[in-house]
Amino acid sequence: MSEAADRPLLAVPVFPGSNDDRDAVSALERVGARALRVWHDEAELPRATAAVVLPGGFSYGDYLRCGAIARFSPIMRAVGPFAEAGGLVLGICNGFQILTEAGLLPGVLRPNASLSFVCRDVRVRVERSDLPFTARTAVGDELTIPVKHGEGCWFADEALLAELDGNHQIVLRYAAGENPNGAVADVAGVCNEAGNVLGLMPHPEHAVDPLLGSADGAVLLSSLVDAARLSAASLV
């Protein structure tokens, strides 16, 4: 196996105000990827990009609505077609907000019902294990992963929620009593219909070593890197 396929290249776009991009790179490298930070001004993803991870933070100061401005960045004009062509895209926290604003994921992230910033470990339940992001989990697994956000209250109206439930697009839910933000139906993570784009509010990149309190985030990131390795191998 070539080096490129063995250690697939994951691109981590960096927007003005992103602040979890270095943690994302460090966590992805730890689970076997090559990870490259890409400035938002780039109009193209690096050649051989096997997956994209949109990091957490406060892109463009959360002006207007979280993620609403970042979607106009040149790099997002590359991420959109990449996702539409089946490329793997993971959005974490602000990355999730950007993907919903860009129309690549359903729903919207609103201010927490408590109006307070929340920063703590939460338990999330895996609802689907057949995705590139969850292949190393089993349905019903509970993962402990931290959240840290002020606007993580995912919302969809009843009709949209029913449609997403029907399509099995709810991938992660906060475990009973754990919902930190008032999200509808305890939704912590949703995917697109094709299953190649996932957004979640918890931060798997902050939970990759028992020393950090949990290594459960590494399970999700390793799943992604496994899938990226396969897609890189098919590119070679």
> Least distance in Å: CB of 182 to other proteins?
7
Nearest-CA neighbor of 67 among 107, 38, 122?
107
β-sheet with 142-149: strand ranges across: 34-39, 9-14, 49-54, 88-92, 197-200, 187-191, 170-174, 118-126, 142-149
| Residue from the set 43, 114, 117, 130 that interacts with other proteins by CB under 8 A | 114
Active-site option among 66, 93, 153, 191: 93
Nearer Cβ to other proteins (80/182): 182
Which residue in 197, 232, 215, 21 sits closest to 136, CA to CA? 215
What is the rounded distance in angstroms from the CA atom of residue 16 to the CA atom of residue 70? 9
Does residue 107 interact with other proteins by CB under 8 A? yes
Q: Is residue 185 involved in binding other proteins (CB under 8 A)?
A: no
Which of the ranges 45-53, 104-112, 185-193, 224-232 carries the binding residues for other proteins, by CB under 8 A? 104-112
Query: CB of residue 113 vs other proteins: minimum separation in angstroms?
Result: 5
Q: What type of residue is 50?
A: A
**115: contact with other proteins by CB under 8 A:** yes
State which of residues 47, 140, 157, 236 lies at the interface with other proteins (CB under 8 A).
157
117 vs 33: CA distance, rounded Å: 32
HEC assignment per residue over 124-174: EEECCCCCCCCCCCCCCCEEEEEEEECCCEEECCHHHHHHHHHCCCEEEEE
Instruction: Determine whether 203 is an active site residue.
Output: yes
Of residues 49, 59, 112, 134, which one binds other proteins by CB under 8 A? 112
| 24 counts as binding other proteins under rule CB under 8 A | no
Interface with other proteins, residue 205, by CB under 8 A: no
Q: Of 34, 40, 110, 203, which one interacts with other proteins (CB under 8 A)? A: 110
Q: Give yes or no for residue 113 binding other proteins (CB under 8 A).
A: yes
Q: Identify the helix (H) or strand (E) that includes residue 79.
A: helix 74-84
Residues that bind other proteins in the complex, under the rule CB under 8 A = 64-65, 68, 101, 107-108, 110-115, 155-157, 160, 182
Instruction: Please give the positions annotated as active site.
Output: 93, 203, 205
